[in-house]
Amino acid sequence: MALKRTTILADPDLLDRVDRLAHRRRTTKTAVITAALEAYLASDDGGPRLTFLGVGRSGHGRLSLDGRSIARRELGGRRRADVPPR
């Protein structure tokens, strides 16, 4: 894998902590920063966070249409594979 160089701006105290950790682990600052980025990105599942969940039926058909429209917009048009389309 080819590495690509980038530049970041960070608080000097944070960079000092990176230096100290790299020294303690006998590794490079690049390795410490790469591991931190990997851990941070792995903690984000990448999916949008829906702030609501509606379950059940309503006598008002428009509500379910609006809910599906909102969910589709929030999910980027994706459908869950285990839920068959209606």
Q: What is the pLDDT of residue 38?
A: 92
CA distance 15 to 29: 9
Mean pLDDT of the chain: 79
- Taking the domains of the chain in order of start, what are their residue ranges? 12-42, 48-86
Q: Of 15 and 66, which is predicted with more confidence?
A: 15
pLDDT exceeds 70 at position 59 = no
CA distance 64 to 86: 12
Q: At what angle do helices 29-42 and 12-25 cross, to 10 degrees?
A: 110
Alpha-carbon 60 to chain mean position: 35
- What is the rounded average pLDDT of the residues 43-58? 68
Q: What is the pLDDT of residue 69?
A: 76
CA distance 73 to 57: 21
